């Protein structure tokens, strides 16, 4: 009788996708066990994949950025700008991997990424390290203490376009943070505290306040902020030498990158939790996989982020092993399993689902 009432069995018998609500207080232990047992031979971050992927993305991103600045044709400049934004977006998303891989797994990778991507784009790795891991804590996911969660599906309809469009201002905000607020904070401690707590993390929860850095992270913060400060003033000073056009084009491309990331964030979860702690299975089902056969998800959710729900089951799994882990779990657990409940078709379907939910909120208001 107890087995028959298991939420996993109820969902399977009804031939309906499993949902977060079914697993708020109890896990699907069979799925968790399968995730552990079927992937024991995976999990090693391979330098031969990470380094070429990152370096090629950087080369394409900066090369096409330079082309967008130098060419005289507006259509060609626009096309090059789009390619640049997509390539830099992929390079930027390695910040997610830096947060999860063991610090000794890829010698020099974190430093190289910060020098080539993080500081030039004014998003050094400290803005994710020590923050993103809170999003994976079982007792904090989806609560007010989660820096990366908002119950968007339970908010008003206007919140969705506002959530995406605010990302357009990200490059200006980052430039202001590193060029102006950072040095002012050196002489005005209350301002420094406010900047650290509210403008030093890639977060979407306005209620979250970041705690002071400790240990190795504190040392990295100093050097990365110094690099960001110097680079921000190099960018501002370039106007006197090169004029406004190069900087404005670069800011526009980075704005597009930020919007792409915000769109991906919008559909990374179903955003249906209202603040209560959840089981690992419930967190998994509130998260999203967009697996093949569709290929476009590899563009808007690169570096393994199309398997975001699976990542919540196995946070330390390198991005290049997630496709194989997904294939094994899908083959073993089958369709209509709990695991299948986190698999979705694409961005349009997901945005529609969240938008429909917000319309319901408006009718109830």
For residue 147, is pLDDT > 90? yes
Give percent of the chain with pLDDT exceeding 70: 95
pLDDT for the residue 2: 38
DSSP 252-302: HHHHHHHHHHHHHHHTTB-----S----HHHHHHTB-B--TT--THHHHST
Whether the bond into 293 is cis, omega within 30 of 0: yes
Q: How many helices (H) and strands (E) does the chain have?
A: 18, 0
Closest CA to 256 of 35, 73, 8, 80: 80
1: confidence class by pLDDT, cuts 50, 70, 90: very low
pLDDT for the residue 360: 73
CA distance 145 to 125: 21
> Could you give the angle at which helices 215-242 and 244-266 cross, rounded to 10 degrees?
140
Mean pLDDT of 322-346: 93
358 in helix, strand or coil?
helix
CA distance 319 to 327: 14
pLDDT for the residue 359: 79
17: confidence class by pLDDT, cuts 50, 70, 90: confident
Mean pLDDT of 103-123: 94
pLDDT for the residue 20: 80
- How would you classify residue 291: left for phi > 0, otherwise alpha for psi between -120 and 50, otherwise beta? beta
For residue 238, is pLDDT > 70? yes
CA distance 165 to 160: 9
pLDDT for the residue 294: 83
356 token code pair: 């429909």
pLDDT digits (tens, 9 = 90+) for 65-106: 999 999 999 999 999 999 999 999 999 999 999 999 887 889
CA distance 130 to 149: 16
CA angle 261, 295, 42 (to 5 degrees): 85
Helix (H) or strand (E) holding 259: helix 244-266
pLDDT for the residue 53: 98
Place of tokens 């626009």: 78
For residue 121, is pLDDT > 60? yes
361: confidence class by pLDDT, cuts 50, 70, 90: low
15: confidence class by pLDDT, cuts 50, 70, 90: low
pLDDT for the residue 240: 96
Report the chain's mean pLDDT, rounded to a whole number. Answer: 91
Helix (H) or strand (E) holding 34: helix 29-37
CA distance 98 to 245: 33
For residue 351, is pLDDT > 60? yes
Sign of CA dihedral 175, 306, 264, 130: negative
Mean pLDDT of 189-213: 94
Mean pLDDT of 140-159: 89
Question: CB of 216 within 8 A of CB of 126?
Answer: no
pLDDT for the residue 362: 53
pTM given for the model: 0.91
142: confidence class by pLDDT, cuts 50, 70, 90: confident
For residue 253, is pLDDT > 80? yes
Question: CB of 340 within 8 A of CB of 28?
Answer: no
Question: CB of 345 within 8 A of CB of 292?
Answer: no
Mean pLDDT of 264-290: 91
CA distance 98 to 80: 28
291 token code pair: 């697996």
330 token code pair: 């899908």
pLDDT for the residue 135: 92
């Amino acid at each position: 009788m107890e087995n028959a009432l298991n939420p996993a069995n109820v969902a399977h018998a009804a031939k309906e996708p499993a949902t977060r609500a079914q697993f708020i207080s109890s896990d699907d232990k069979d799925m968790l066990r399968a995730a552990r047992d079927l992937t024991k031979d995976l999990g090693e971050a391979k330098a031969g994949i990470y380094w070429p992927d990152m370096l090629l993305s950087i080369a394409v991103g900066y090369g096409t950025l330079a082309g967008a600045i130098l060419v005289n044709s507006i259509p060609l400049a626009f096309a090059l700008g789009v390619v640049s934004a997509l390539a830099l977006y992929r390079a930027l998303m390695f910040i997610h991997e830096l947060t999860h891989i063991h610090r000794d797994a890829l010698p020099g990778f974190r430093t190289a990424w910060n020098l080539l991507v993080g500081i030039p784009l004014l998003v050094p790795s400290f803005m994710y390290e020590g923050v993103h891991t809170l999003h994976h804590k079982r007792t904090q996911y989806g609560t007010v203490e989660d820096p990366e969660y908002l119950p968007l599906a339970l908010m008003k309809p206007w919140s969705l376009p506002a959530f995406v469009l605010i990302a357009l201002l990200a490059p200006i905000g980052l430039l202001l943070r590193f060029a102006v607020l950072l040095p002012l904070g050196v002489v005005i401690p209350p301002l420094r505290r406010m900047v650290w707590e509210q403008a030093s993390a890639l977060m979407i929860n306005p209620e979250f306040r970041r705690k002071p850095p400790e240990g190795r992270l504190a040392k990295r913060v100093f050097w990365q902020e110094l690099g960001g400060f110097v680079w921000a003033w190099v960018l501002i000073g370039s106007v006197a030498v090169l004029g406004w056009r190069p900087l404005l084009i670069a800011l526009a491309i980075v704005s597009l990158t930020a919007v792409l990331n915000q769109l991906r964030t919008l559909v990374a979860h179903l955003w249906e939790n209202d603040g209560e702690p959840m089981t690992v299975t419930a967190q998994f089902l509130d998260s999203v996989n967009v697996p093949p056969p569709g290929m476009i998800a590899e563009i808007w959710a690169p570096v393994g982020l199309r398997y975001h729900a699976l990542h919540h089951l196995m946070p330390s799994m390198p991005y290049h092993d997630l496709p194989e882990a997904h294939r094994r779990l899908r083959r073993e657990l089958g369709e209509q399993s709990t695991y299948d409940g986190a698999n979705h078709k694409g961005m349009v379907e997901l945005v529609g689902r969240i938008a429909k939910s917000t319309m319901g909120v408006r009718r109830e208001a």
